[in-house]
Amino acid sequence: MATARGGPSGRADQRATTGRIVAILAILAFVPVIQAGIELIVSPVTIPDFVDRRVGPSTTLVAMDGFALLAPLPAQPPPPGTVAAVDGAAYHWYAVRDTVADRRIAMVRSPLASETLLTRTVIARVVEDPAAVNSALRGLALHGESGPNVSAPLLDEVEEPTGDIRTIDSVAQLADAAPGDLLRIRLHFGPGVATCVATDTCVARRLADGIGSWDNLADDPETGELVVVRTSYPPSVAPFGGVGVQAANRAEVEELLASVPARGLLDWARVLRGANVEHDLNLPIDRLWLGPLVFAMFAALLYVGLRAGYPRFRPTESAARGRAIGWDRPAGELRVVASGRITPPGASPFELTEAPATLRADAATGETTLRLKVGTEWRSVVVPRSLGALGSVQLGDQVEISGSRPALRIGWFGSQVLLVFESAATRDAALGLVQAPMADSSERRST
């Protein structure tokens, strides 16, 4: 005899299967999470690490801070798949040094324009020194960089600030700052001059090695108001920091270093040959986590569905509603879909899941018969006449993800069956069928 599964043990099997699927999806999600985590491990490096070959190609992502020469060389876009390419951007090779006095250089291909590096946020200390400001302006004028007078105080950039830092939005707010205050402000840097120019004490070799300080004429990007900013690095470089993919494009980099512009710019420096960094503006990026997130969300949806137990029966009213409907038995068969466990008298119990069934009242005997398609055969089960006293009747709905359908749950002598109907009227008629025998018995007892 073929059986259809769908009672308590069938639902338990479904839950077990769904649980295994959730576990497999969790494992599948965990694998790309590990991979994405490895790819997102960013190794802080210094330029000497590259030049002295202390960083091998095994380091995927590197983060560096240094000083980039503001004379970038034109570059072709990076190879596909190496970085998150910026559409329409003009790429440049930047020669980046760890310190301005260090001649070791790493080549970084970046979509950043040199003009972008000139606008940056600095943390500086307010210095009330009009003589230093005027000296800087005279030095700039000697080099053909004359400009209007600057009334703002001198800002001395602090590389490792300690203490309270106040953020200001414009150069005009410097009027409210006291000498010694630490301020954070965004400025656009222009020409600069060594502070030793005014006193004629400059040593060319020391300045060439980056030893000294420089006064830079900067302006407010919003208002254009000017201020003098003193830095420890010359105006020919700008602080550069970023995360990128360490590449090993030996031929491409050596071709770059052999070019006339690169030889004129970098011949005096030590450059790591055969390796470079592909600067990626979007790292760390969310796209590496997209695959794991999809797996995790799918597993979460399955888990929620497992916990919710879809499809599930939701009781809405008591069986007493049947008395209000009346005990008129509908003629003919009522088509239903049955699930649950059936325990026929003198036979082995069986289970079924959404099996086609019919419910009808026998005109001769007055019994209500439930015919079920079990496998390829049809079986008839008599619903007890005293169902209300010996079992249970519940009106409700079968709730599914896409909606709900009217349902009736009945139980007797170890059987528990859920009947699902296409309409509420059919369900109410079925309720009259299963409870009418109880009314007939009650009437006979009363007489």
| Span 392-409, pLDDT tens digits | 888 888 887 677 889 999
226 inside domain: yes
CA distance 197 to 201: 7
The verdict on 302 and 316 lying in the same domain is: no
Locus of tokens 């005109």 = 363
Least confident of 11-20, 87-96, 244-253, 361-370: 11-20
Is the pLDDT reported for residue 287 higher than 60? no
CATH of the domain at 359: 2.30.29
Same domain (yes/no): 271, 325: no
Q: Element (H or E) spanning 122, and its range?
A: strand 119-127
Asked whether the whole model's pTM tops 0.75, one would answer no
Q: Above 60 in pLDDT, residue 288?
A: no
Tell me whether residue 203 is in a domain.
yes
For the cut 60, the answer to whether the pLDDT of residue 6 exceeds it is: no
- Residue 118 in domain: yes
> Are residues 422 and 296 part of one domain?
no
Over residues 20-33, the pLDDT tens digits come to: 766 776 666 666 65
Structural domains of the chain, count = 3
Rounded Cα gap, residues 215 and 196, in angstroms:
10
15/59 same-domain check? no
Do residue 366 and residue 437 come from a single domain?
A: yes
Q: Residues 121, 158: one domain?
A: yes
The stretch 366-390 carries a mean pLDDT of 79
Band the pLDDT of 419: cuts 50, 70, 90.
Answer: very high
436 has a pLDDT exceeding 80: no
Same domain, 217 and 112: yes
Please tell me the distance from the alpha carbon of residue 381 to that of residue 338, in angstroms, as a whole number: 12
Does 284 sit behind a cis peptide bond, omega within 30 degrees of 0 on the bond before it? Answer: yes
Average pLDDT in the chain: 78
pLDDT digits (tens, 9 = 90+) for 169-200: 999 999 899 999 999 999 999 999 899 887 77
pLDDT on residue 265? 81
Would you say 94 and 108 are in contact if contact means Cβ atoms under 8 Å apart? yes
Cis geometry, peptide bond prior to residue 311 (ω within 30 degrees of 0): yes
Full domain range(s) for residue 154: 41-283
The answer to whether residues 120 and 250 belong to one domain is: yes
Do the domain assignments include residue 230?
A: yes
The torsion angle over the Cα atoms of residues 402, 408, 410 and 415, rounded to 10 degrees, is -30
Q: Is residue 2 part of a domain?
A: no
Question: 262 and 169 in one domain?
Answer: yes
Q: What is the pLDDT of residue 295?
A: 66
One DSSP character per residue, 16-28 reads HHHHHHHHHHHHH
**Does residue 402 form part of some domain?**
yes
The pLDDT of residue 5 is 43
Q: Is the pLDDT of residue 370 over 70?
A: yes
Same domain, 69 and 56: yes
> Which segments within 55-118 are labelled E, that is strand?
61-69, 73-75, 91-97, 104-110
Token output for 441 = 């018995």
pLDDT at res. 321? 47
State the first-to-last Cα distance of the chain, in angstroms, to the nearest integer. Answer: 44
Buried b (16+ CB within 10 A) or exposed e, 29-52: beebbeebeebeeeeebbbbbbbe
* 120 and 225 housed in the same domain: yes
Band (pLDDT 50/70/90 cuts) for residue 126 is: very high
Whether 172 and 227 have beta carbons less than 8 Å apart is answered as no
Q: Does 353 have pLDDT greater than 70?
A: yes
225 lies in the same domain as 134: yes
